[in-house]
Structure 1
Amino acid sequence: MPIARPIARTEAAPVYADMEEPELVAHACRGESDAFGVIMQRCNQPLFRVARAIVSDDSEAEDVVQESYFKAFKALATFRGDSSLSTWLTRITINEARGRLRSRKKTVNLAEVEVAQKEGSLVIPFRGAYVMENPEAEVARSQIRTLIENAVDELPEPFRLVFVLRDIQDYSVDETAASLGIKPETVKTRLHRARRQLRVQLNEVFSSTMQDAFPFLGERCERINQRVLTMLSERRICPESDFRS
């Protein structure tokens, strides 16, 4: 039988930083936490954005990402590379976030959204017009980013997820379709409608601020890394891998 190895911190963390995905997964399956730490470092921001697109709350989105990492680590040996690791992790995160959402409120019904669109009643209620009068560039960018985030939050979940993956995360149509389990044609349709709903006044700020929306870097990124690695070590959680001692 395969022998489960406990999570183990190593002294050669920098060596993992340049590894390709298959090699990182192999080392993580052996219980090498620094390899899994690099995986988290690479995926934290996109997974946080996906989680937040569903739960619409920073704190809960962080919890979703953390729990998704636990589930992913335990099931890491089942990852066979049929899709990219990020796609696999995105699916886990979406399932976790939607599970939480179902426990606290009814998910938006896409059919109802379609009816509302045909009736012309679905309008983004922008939270106050913004005029760039502040001479401080960073303050202006922060306010514009908040405007974008508020507008994106108002999108129905099916459109919001596609918008976040395509326009914020820059996923391809095929990657988005694979992550959400829908057809590429559906991705294109939902993206078109999401963009239309965000209204004309956001067009001028998309190109300069989109990549900064929903940041999850620096201290917050490091905090969730350390929290997950510490708990994996304390709980002695191991991947159910095929590796032998």
Structure 2
Amino acid sequence: MSDTAEANSTRGEVSRSEPSDRDLLLDLVDGRRGALGTLYDRHSRVVYAYIAASLDAREDIEEISQDVFVTLWRKRATIVVAGESVLPWLLVTSRNLIANRRRAIQAAQNRRAGDALDETHPDSRPGPDEIAERNQLLAYVETVAAALPEPDRTVFELCIRGDHSYDEAAAQAGITPAAVRNRLSRLRTRLRNELHTLRGKP
């Protein structure tokens, strides 16, 4: 056998000896932290690049990149992968953590804007009439949601009232993620139109 053929043969044996992601997940369930390091080395660059494409602050990117693998360890006993790779699960988890961070950033900005508004307009808090109208609108939304047929009601509860992804809602509702997206679009349009009607707006 030539030196090149022997080297290729040796590399093939090393490649075949490497554990798959599914094997490493089983090691995680058994509490072997070394498996987490192997998965981190294998997928962290892709996860980091995915997060960096969605967020600007380096500290946010680095923190979420770490949180993805912390979540992997914390949920190791319940994770199910469709194929041999855990990367799709890592990217879905990244997307959810990115969404959470964006909501937190937006909430902080809203609080700062609210504080500034309170300083210049101390009497700008909603009055009794506005509170009554808001409560009426919320009660109306609850009535509409309760009357929805399945699977629209499940989609509403998971994606509008809750914080589930299209994939998670699709799995629970027994439909495709595309169907979840289409149903959500129709639900939001219906609610928006009916609330405008209730308020007497065109």
TM range (shorter): 0.3 to 0.5
TM-score by length of 1: 0.36
Greater relative contact order (Cα < 8 A, sep 6+): 1
Q: Name whichever structure is richer in helix by fraction.
A: 2
Length-normalised TM-score, structure 2? 0.43
> Over alpha carbons, which structure has the higher Rg?
2
